[in-house]
Amino acid sequence: MDLPALPPRDPTGHKGTFGTVAVVGGCAVQREGAARMLGAPLLAGRGALRSGAGLVRILMPEPLLNASLAAFPWATGVALPVDAEGEIIGHEAAAELDRQLASATALVIGPGLGSVDSASPPSEPVDVIRDAADRGRRHLAGGPSAMVLRAASQEDVPVVLDADGLNLLAAIPEFWREIRGRVIITPHPGEYRRLAAALGINADPVEPAARPGAAEQMAQRLGVIVVLKGAGTVVSDGHRTWVCSRGHACMATGGTGDVLSGIIGGLVAQFGPSGEDAAKAAMLAAVPEKYRKAMESLSAKVQAGKKATARNTLDLFDAARLGVEIHARAGEAWASRHGQAGLLATELTDEVPGVMDAMR
């Protein structure tokens, strides 16, 4: 399956033309054993800006916000309320998210958001489900899970759900009932296993031959776009599946996944479909393959007869595929000059504009 063309940059555009990405992440919890996390959402924001988004807004626990803006002055910041232990106050933070989504064109949620007992992949699905239910009950009422649920259930702004956002989602009993929006999830194999255990999916996210089927099963079950990360990243909407053939081992280092979520969010902010476009794309995706080209051709002819619009659009499946391809080629570009290892995630973001320019 060929990649779509990367849409051109509007030469008369301004920062508002190219969309606003809201990034929700960071963890300020002060309990024993909890890790304070600041860098992941900043890397996602940097990926969004380097991929061409006009504006980035970071939503982060209040104790971390000033430090994050000092490290990342290209963004604006919104403080999320926390309790005495630094935990996000769920209902207040979800209300703040609603306010910020009114002016956002894409949302990335999850990098460094923090979760309980999520450091290792599950071994026994029954135990995982039981543990997930316990964790879900602890987090649902007052923690960041409330924000994750709100993000997945709202239908106004496309969402990239990554990292701890996925771990928190997997910990909520019957979370699949709450997913109603336009959602891209970006699990690595461990995060995939947590979600799969809760969903009752028995699929291998590691074996290369099994990975496309694993991504398809989850996409069909949840009604989302799945980006199954790893060597040969797989993107599937449950009907269409694509495997990336690019990339380099230098990318196997902390933070590069956060960059990917930001790149995808940046593309969605600039070129993602409106609600009407998304409905048309979903309808076409459900059409059998042998009829789809004819319907796409007819749709193109109808559109050609209408007044052309200035905004080029990509459906979420294609935005995710292009984000993965750009991310992979950026790793290759760095390796071609620097070698096999030592890549910093910030350096990966700096390769993105050149890669995108070469792809246009």
Cα angle: 317, vertex 166, 343; to 5 degrees: 75
Residue 197 forms part of a structural domain: yes
pLDDT at position 135: 44
The answer to the question of residue 11 being in a domain is no
3-state class percentages of the chain: helix first, strand second, coil last, to nearest 5: 50, 10, 40
**Which H/E stretch holds residue 24?**
strand 20-24
Find the distance separating the first CA and the last CA of the chain, reported in whole Å. 18
- pLDDT, tens digit (0-9, with 9 covering 90-100), for 80-107: 999 999 999 999 999 999 999 999 999 9
Say if 15 falls within a structural domain. Answer: no
Exposure of 160 in the CB half-sphere (CA atoms within 13 A): 41
In a domain, 79, yes or no: yes
Strands 234-236 and 225-228, sheet pairing = antiparallel
The per-residue pLDDT for range 17-65, each reduced to its tens digit, is 999 999 999 999 988 777 788 999 999 999 999 999 999 999 999 999 9
- If you average pLDDT over residues 201-229, what whole number do you get? 98
Which domain does 251 fall in, by range?
A: 20-272+314-359
Q: What is the pLDDT of residue 322?
A: 98
Rg (CA), the chain: 19
Q: Which residue, among 241, 205, 209, 247, has the nearest Cα to 225 in the 3D structure?
A: 241
Q: With respect to residue 306, please indicate whether it lies within any of the assigned structural domains.
A: no
The pLDDT, as a whole number, for residue 309 is 39
Task: Give the CATH number, domain containing residue 160.
Answer: 3.40.1190.20
Q: Is 38 helix (H, G, I), strand (E, B) or coil?
A: coil
Mean pLDDT in residue range 288-303? 57
Sheet containing 20-24: order of strands = 76-80, 55-61, 20-24, 106-109, 159-161, 183-185, 225-228, 234-236, 241-243
Instruction: Render pLDDT for 228-287 as a digit per residue (tens, 0 to 9).
Output: 999 999 999 999 999 999 999 999 999 999 999 999 999 999 999 864 454 445 455 556
Whether 233 is covered by a domain: the verdict is: yes
Q: Is the pLDDT of residue 123 over 70?
A: no
Q: Which helix (H) or strand (E) holds 243?
A: strand 241-243
Number of domains in the chain: 1
CA distance 210 to 195: 17
Give domain status of residue 307, yes or no. Answer: no
Q: Which amino acid is at 162?
A: D
304 occurs within a structural domain: no
